[in-house]
Structure 1
Amino acid sequence: MAQHLNAATLLEFAHAAQQHPRATEPCECTRTPLEGWQSQPLSLDETLFNEIGTLMREDDPEPSFSEYLPDKTTYWSTDAPIAPLYFPYNRCGVWQCSLCGRLYLRYVEGGGYFVDRRIRAVSAELIADVPLPE
């Protein structure tokens, strides 16, 4: 299993990714806007990505389905916080583009009759270290 990243570690990786020399340039991974959750585009070249960690805790076999969506944000909002202890972040792998260094969160959304691979770009400004309610 990949290295577990908590909110503080994810924030460190996000800041480092934003300092990558090519982080502000167009890249293969930025053809489709991914600031909010999206179904993973079929055109996205998965070989560009390296998994650098996971937000899934090894000691938590059934992560919470609680969502953290303050200020009328929704799951699909581009400004929704990235709260690692909350759904869907607590089921995500953290991936980095090998060309530009940008970070992405990826997970598989599953329902009764479908499976949808979802992806969202990581923005350091949106990472929120929020505890789950007791």
Structure 2
Amino acid sequence: MAEYLNAATLLELAQRAEQRAAASCSCTRTPLDGWQSQPLSLDETQFEEVGTLAPQDDPEATFSEYLPGKTNYWSADAPIAPRYFPYNRCAVWQCTLCSRLYLRYTEGGGYFVDRRIRAVQSALIEDVALPD
């Protein structure tokens, strides 16, 4: 099972990855600043899972979203709040070629399954507590 990453650990990993990231890589062909359906062109063999934001001791993770201001789920500037949906269901993956970090999860609806992906930007990570 993947190692659980809290917001502080994710932030540290993201900052290190941003310092090491190569200028260009095949993983950046499609902009992934906001949530996207995983492109078919993305070569999954160049990624490795480095952790999870899904707490193992929380079988009923919240579906509440943290979207302050005018951001929405698809916004490129929406905060990455690990305790909130969909981040609390994400695996953290790293490109083995350029070191960039990505969040991935599977969105499931009544008649579909959609693998979603978003690039991690350290400036967007927020450690926001869930309301009581």
Alignment partner, residue 46 of structure 1? 44
Letter in 2 for 1:118: R
Structure 2 match to 1:132: 130
Q: CA deviation at 1:24?
A: 4.4
Alignment of 1:57-68 (within 5 A): 57-68=55-66
- Following TM superposition, where does structure 1 have runs of at least 4 consecutive aligned residues deviating by more than 6 angstroms? none
State the distance in 2 between where 1:63 and 1:30 align. Answer: 30
Work out the CA distance in 2 between the residues paired with 1:107 and 1:41.
13
Aligned to 1:7: 7
Question: Which residue does 2:26 correspond to in 1?
Answer: 28
> Residue deviations 1:48-77, cap 9 Å, x none?
100000000000012100000001100000
Q: Report Cα offsets for 1:100-120 as digits up to 9, x if no partner.
A: 000000000000000000000
Percent identity for Structure 1 against Structure 2: 74
Q: CA RMSD in A?
A: 0.5
Matches of 1:41 and 1:86 in 2, distance apart? 24
User: 1:70 is matched by which residue type in structure 2?
Assistant: P
TM-score (norm 2): 0.99
The aligned amino acid for 2:87 is Y
- Separation of aligned partners in 1, 2:18 and 2:22: 8
Q: Secondary structure of 1:117's partner? A: strand
What is the correspondence of 1:63-102 to structure 2 with a 5 Å cutoff? 63-102=61-100
C-alpha separation in 2, matches of 1:51 and 1:24: 19
Q: Of 49, 53, 59, which aligns to 1:55?
A: 53
Structure 2 residue ranges without an equivalent (≥5): none
Deviation at 1:25, TM superposition (A): 1.0
For residues 19-52 of structure 1, give each alpha carbon's deviation from its aligned partner in whole angstroms, at most 9, with x where no partner exists. 11xx141111000000000000001000010000
For the residues of structure 2 that align with 1:117 and 1:104, how far apart are their CA atoms?
13
Whichever residue aligns with residue 84 of structure 1, its letter is: P
Task: Structure 1 unaligned segments of length 5 or more: list them.
Answer: none
Amino acid at match of 1:131: A
